[in-house]
Structure formats: C-alpha cells, structure tokens
Chain A
C-alpha cells in the first residue's frame, strides 16, 4: 500500500509524521450461542484492514452500512479488542498498554458519534459532561472545570449559558457542538468522528463541518472521519479509504480517488452520489458567506 503525499500546503513538515499506523486488523462478532453460552457462529466485521494517518491529516473511511467502519473506529481507540493485527499510535502498540497507559492514551484520542441526542448522559448538565474529562485526567476542582467547560463551549460557538442546560433542551446541532467541546477538553491528537453530521439538518451540517476544519487547522488535529456520504467526504478528507464487507478495497488521496477510481466498487459508490460535487467545493473547504 502506497503512502500518498499529503495534499494541502498548510500541512507542515511536522505533520508528515505518522500518528497512527494500523496493520492487518481483524475482528469478528459472535452471531449465536448455545445453552452454555458457547459461541456457535461468527461474523467477520473487519478483515485485514491496514492504513496510516499523519498528524494533522483527515482520513475518511467510507462504505455502505454494515461495512465495518464503526468497528474499525472502535478498534483504533481500543474500545474493543481486535482478534488480530496491530494499532500503533505515536510509536506505541495500543494493545500493549496497561491500565495506566490506557488512561494516558485516552487523553490523546477522542471520539465523536453519529447520534448527537445519545452522546451525552441525559441526567447530567452539559457543563459537567464537558468538564468530565478534566476531572478524570487532571483531577481539576469543580470551579476550574466549570470555567474550562464554558471556555470550550464558547470555542465551539455555543453560549456559555449552555453549560447549565440538560441535553434534552438542546437541538441536534447544539448537542454535536457540545460533543466536540468535550472531545477538545483534553487537547487530543486524534479524533475519530463516526458520522458526526449524518443526523443533522443539511444547513447545520455545513456549520459543524466548518467548525471541525477550523479546529483542525488551529490545533493540528488528525481526524479519522467515518461516513457513508461520498459528497461530504470529498469536502473534508485528505485521503479516503473505501470499505466493503469488512475490507478496504481502495485507499488513496481524495482527488485521485474521485477523479480516477481504480476499484469497481468505488466507481459504483461514486455513481450513486446524487448530485455531482461542484468544483468550487473541491478545494477541501466548505464555502462560507
């Protein structure tokens, strides 16, 4: 697998350095069990998946529902254990981390989920949720956490007053901003974004995507951006990996993949994109008024 050049000029030399390297990941789930709880059938969700991600880069993972995209995201963050393969984050094999190191790894990686309504504990106010990572990792006192939470909410374009709200009082777009604020609290290096805008209104999508790209520029974040929406991916991704039935069938720089898809399946996917992406958007930036 070739390592394509990183696209934009804004990416500096430092960003060329590999943050994440995934080799030969495998994961299957138990499909059925017998009376004694012994597994009797398996289903391979991820098969021999390899890719790497540079600092400051956005790699999109696309594919139809059930292709195994979310499973890859979870494996990368070690939310679930792989059956085989390795995830190397900043030079360290993630599978070897003990409890303490795993906690340190957690502060450098974050995840944003598709369902904004379900991403926050419904019984806890937004400020407390955003400040929770600071409690876990830095043991910051309450007042300090609240202050930082308000700053973070401000950073993602929400009013500081939002901190007192409960999730049920916010809209989907607002909730996704809150989720981003929480993900930023520990200033991570990598954020896995699992369909972060799929549940949002089209008008709100652009705002949230803009926010994400702004933050990437400002903080040098890397994104593993999971999506089934090729039109959207073209706008945000530096490179794209296409998944089908647990396997990556094609991976390459975004322009190349869109202009000259090599794999049959990629061509099928592109053909299914309803509206051709306007060339004006191909610069990788959502146009703003």
Chain B
C-alpha cells in the first residue's frame, strides 16, 4: 500500500509543479501584452490594468510563480480577477455540485453496468446479449453532451418529467437534489456504463465457462446463485478497475455536461474563467483536477490490492 501511495505522490507532485509552471511560462511567452490578451476582446482599460496588477506582471516570472506556489501550498490560491472572490472558496462551492454529479453518475454506472452486464452474460449468444452489445457499441460512440441534449428534448421539452437546468444542494433538499441530477447523471454515465457493461460481460462470460462453475451447477446451485456467489466475485477485479479509472477521468466529461445543464460545478466555472482570462481560477481548477485524478487512480490501485490479495507484496 505504501509503495502505491508513494508512486502516485511521485507522479502527481512533479506534475502539478510542472503544469502550473508551464501556465505561468506560457502567459509570459505569448507574444503581445498578456494582460490585454487575457482580458479578452472589448475589455476596459481598468480591467486590463487590474489584471496586470493581480498577476504582478511587473515581477520576474520565477518570483511570480514561487509566490503563487507558496500561497497554494498554504491553501491560498489567490482571488478571481472577475469577481474578486477567493479562489479556494469558489472551488469549494463548485466542487459540491461536481461531486454530486459524479456521485449520481457512479451509482448509475454500477447499476446500469451490473444489470446490462449480467443480462448479456447470462444470455450469452442470444438476442438479449446481442442487443446489449449493439446498444453499448453505439453508446460508446455517442458524445455525452449530445446525449444530454437528446435527454433534455425528450424528458424536459416533450414530456416535462425532469428539469432541463438547475441544481439544488443535497443539504437543502435531497429529493430535489436527486431530481435535478437524474438527466445529467444519465448523460454522463452512458459511455462509462457501456464500457463497464462490456467489461463485465466479457469477464462474467469467461468465468461462467470455467470448470468450477460447471461443478457448482452440477451440485444443484441455480444460475442466479452461481452468478451472485461465484462469478461476480471473480469478475469484480476488472470491473472495479474500469470503474475507478473512469471516475478519475470523468472530471473532463463533467465539464461539458455541467455546462449543458447549467450545474454550478467546476465545468461552467472553468469555461467562464477561460473566456474571461481568469488565470487564478483556471490554475486552481487545473490543480484540483490533477489531484482528483490522482486520488481516484490511487483508490483504484488500492481496491485492486484489496480485491486481489495475491498482488500484496
């Protein structure tokens, strides 16, 4: 376990340092006045001046970078150019919505993946199996944000069953929290669910053909018992691995889905900051993203270790 944690730390810490430094470097290297560039088109002179001051553009590159790095290590990520709010606070609020979305997505992934994966494996080679495989192949190719639009048109426009936009914090009203996250969760989980389904189907099909399963059915166990007791346990390792790695990278997909549904998460915050040249917020989100990915990769590694005791050395 310790080596796994060490490994992730050894990958993540230099990565965060290098990427954030590259951002500073790029701002400097881009030809033209960075302040003008970052402020975007039609920016007022005050705005440009404010950015110049906020970024300490008069200081040398390294000083600026080390100041930022020193601040971040102590938890001070600076203030937004646009709203002047603390970046830490902005991120914390946005993370609430993003984490909510990912939580719902993860649950949907597991449920959809298990149901479809087991259905396909148990009906190996039959119509149900082939339908599941075809559906999953199409879902893997479908861009999540387009699926989101289709869901909105169907469930929010044609039949007003679910809301098209908006977010209610979990602490405020759990029922409405979930109600607002069903469509975004479905859209975001479609592709990873399809991958998980195919993965489970492959693993289960393989396990169901092994000798001990035949032996178990000879002992009179029902198919459901076999799947539940033996097959799923054996198929769990690859499935959990897929789940973990997908949850790590889902933060990228969440950006787009949150924008479609106007969820106040990291996605819209990132897009606004990019459009407004809000460097402190962008840096904060980038660092947060890398930590997110590292955390989920680590959790995946650890769960692999837990499920696969042989790998513990």
Contacts and interface: CB of A to CB of B under 8 A. Distances in A.
Interface of A: 35
Nearest to A34: B3
A24 to B, nearest CB: 37
B7 interface: yes
Contacts of A35: 3, 6-7, 10
B13 to A, nearest CB: 15
Interface of B: 3, 6-7, 10
Nearest to A36: B10
A35 B2 CA distance: 12
Contacts of B6: 35
A35 B10 CA distance: 10
B3 to A, nearest CB: 7
Contacts, number: 4
A38 to B, nearest CB: 14
A271 B237 CA distance: 49
A35 B7 CA distance: 8
Contacts of B3: 35
A23 B3 CA distance: 43
4 contacts: A35-B3, A35-B6, A35-B7, A35-B10
A160 to B, nearest CB: 49
B260 to A, nearest CB: 42
Contacts of B7: 35
A37 to B, nearest CB: 13
A35 B6 CA distance: 10
Contacts of B10: 35
Nearest to B6: A35
A190 B10 CA distance: 50
Nearest to B3: A35
A129 B214 CA distance: 51
A32 to B, nearest CB: 11
A224 B127 CA distance: 61
A35 B5 CA distance: 12
A35 B3 CA distance: 8
B170 to A, nearest CB: 40
A52 B6 CA distance: 51
Nearest to B7: A35
A135 B3 CA distance: 50
A35 B9 CA distance: 13
A190 B119 CA distance: 64
What 4 pairs across the A-B complex have the smallest Cβ distances?
A35-B7, A35-B3, A35-B6, A35-B10
B144 to A, nearest CB: 36
A210 B210 CA distance: 48
A189 B288 CA distance: 65
A35 B11 CA distance: 12
Nearest to B10: A35
A4 B303 CA distance: 64
A264 B7 CA distance: 50
A188 B7 CA distance: 51
A234 B93 CA distance: 82
B141 to A, nearest CB: 32
A242 to B, nearest CB: 37
A35 B8 CA distance: 11
B57 to A, nearest CB: 40
B253 to A, nearest CB: 31
A208 to B, nearest CB: 42
B311 to A, nearest CB: 15
A273 to B, nearest CB: 38
B297 to A, nearest CB: 16
A126 to B, nearest CB: 39
A196 B282 CA distance: 64
A100 to B, nearest CB: 42
A31 to B, nearest CB: 14
A267 B6 CA distance: 53
A41 to B, nearest CB: 13
A34 to B, nearest CB: 9
